[in-house]
Amino acid sequence: LQQQLAGKRVLITGATYGIGEALAECLAETGAHLLLVARTTEKLLEVQKRVEAKGGRADIFPCDLTNSAELQLLLTKLAQQPGGIDIFVNNAGKSIRRSIFDSLDRMHDFTRTMNLNYFAPVQIMLALIPELVAKQGHVINISALNVRLLPPPNWAAYQASKSAFDQWLRSVAAELNTKGVSTTTIYLPLVRTRMIEPTPAYRKMPAMQPDAVAQLI
């Protein structure tokens, strides 16, 4: 892993909790230069300090990916970084479990999930593709197993948004692959993160730990 990643620049979204946080620490000793994106500056600083304590290198980029102005500023900052991006780990995500009958006056449930789970990674990809082609880079999409199964009730907003980016990436993957850009989607089962905490039924169900997912990535 060190041979493959030493000197490479790895962009990780959703880097302050759960899978993203565990992945940042997992990669700290590989010699990779981590570019960490999340909403909370204080939490980003904590993760950065832990990476540096292990001898790693990390730069932080506070950004609410659902805010178009902040996202555009992030892309501008990334474009100004020397060395480009070698690997993009699309990890940031939002989950909502709610009956459609409780969502009749909550159109924002759908816009929020689409903004974070679909539009944001698409916009990031559109900006990064020239760099990824030049660097023969790699895109790793952290997805959900449910995307490939029959859609369950109460998860319409989440299911549609995750499926949208999954289909988008699968569609463009062939074009990217012909230019030397690798693409990987990891369809995860339940993972023990704060995303599942609001769902009581999940609290006692078997789930992967974020550290195990980080090792898988």
In tens digits, what is the pLDDT along the chain, a chain of 217 residues? 899 999 999 999 999 999 999 999 999 999 999 999 999 999 999 999 999 999 999 999 999 999 999 999 999 999 998 889 999 999 999 988 899 999 999 999 999 999 999 999 999 999 999 999 999 999 999 999 889 988 889 999 999 999 999 999 999 999 999 999 999 999 988 776 756 666 666 667 777 888 898 899 9
**Does the model's pTM come out above 0.85?**
yes
pLDDT of residue 191: 73
What positions carry a catalytic annotation? 158
How far is it, in rounded angstroms, from Cα 159 to Cα 54?
37
pLDDT of residue 211: 87
Fill in the amino acid letter for 9: R
- Cα torsion angle, 124, 54, 4, 208, sign: negative
Residue that is written with structure tokens 């992945």 in the block: 23
- Tokens representing 35 are 């570019």
- Tokens representing 139 are 């895109």
pLDDT of residue 198: 66
Fill in the amino acid letter for 58: A
pLDDT of residue 202: 65
pLDDT of residue 183: 98
Contact 211, 196 (CB under 8 A): no
DSSP three-state, residue 77: helix
pLDDT of residue 201: 64
